[in-house]
Chain A
């Protein structure tokens, strides 16, 4: 069975601060995919990034960066110089090779205060 844990239920920071959202996953499969989604108040899940288990390269996209470490089964997400528009619930998700479903964590509610 697969499991995703986002230990941080809520995070609140002041605008322009850097913030890191933690994600730890569990799976016995050797091929799997990790995702981050953003869910604004409107409810729609917005795809942010996908990482394959065989590609541990970290990635940076503008103010967003992701740190994938297989040794610790973690896939953390950092927002640099946070903005109020970053306020949302963020979900980490896992999908294993051959399975169709995404397994989501509980989500982290991020609030950026002006």
Chain B
């Protein structure tokens, strides 16, 4: 049973560019949440997708957007990248339960 998978593992982008990160939830899960973890900090909630709709959003600007596909996989898009967007981006999946299962993350470096 595959767990949560994320791609790519690492990514280097230039300030001002746009990036797309991908997440496949654990088998049987229909809900995907995204978190940003800056170096030395705890993860911060970006948003959650359920039934292809954004269900809840954290305190992140509109440059951060997402999408969920019919197969429950999800994308996180970040536009107009800033140096401060450099972080580990974690995806978590769940299904009608309180427990969220996390993927290995995508480490984004903005230069």
| A1–chain B nearest beta-carbon distance, Å | 11
Contacts of B100 in A (CB 8 A): 102
Tell me if B's interface is mostly helix, strand, loop or mixed.
Answer: strand
Interface members, chain A 63-109 (any B CB < 8 Å): 91, 93, 95, 99-107
Q: Which of A100, A101, A106 contacts B41 (CB 8 A)?
A: A106
Interface members, chain A 28-81 (any B CB < 8 Å): 33, 37, 42-47, 50
| A66–chain B nearest beta-carbon distance, Å | 16
CA distance A43 to B99 in the complex (A): 18
Which B residue's beta carbon lies closest to that of A91?
A: B42
Contacts of B58 in A (CB 8 A): 101
CA distance A42 to B102 in the complex (A): 12
CA distance A100 to B96 in the complex (A): 10
Q: Which of B35, B42, B99, B102 contacts A106 (CB 8 A)?
A: B42
* Contact call A103/B90, Cβ cutoff below 8 A: no
* Contact call A100/B107, Cβ cutoff below 8 A: no
B positions within 8 Å CB-CB of A: 31, 33, 35, 40-45, 48, 55-56, 58, 88, 90, 92, 98-105, 107
A positions within 8 Å CB-CB of B: 4, 33, 37, 42-47, 50, 91, 93, 95, 99-107
Q: List 24 A-B contacts (CB under 8 A).
A: A4-B42, A33-B98, A37-B102, A43-B107, A44-B102, A44-B103, A45-B43, A45-B102, A46-B102, A47-B102, A50-B98, A95-B98, A99-B56, A100-B33, A100-B45, A100-B48, A100-B56, A101-B45, A101-B56, A102-B35, A104-B44, A105-B42, A106-B40, A106-B42
Given contacts A42-B104, A100-B56, A102-B92, 13 further A-B contacts (CB under 8 A): A43-B90, A45-B90, A45-B92, A47-B99, A93-B42, A100-B31, A100-B45, A100-B55, A101-B56, A102-B100, A106-B40, A107-B41, A107-B42
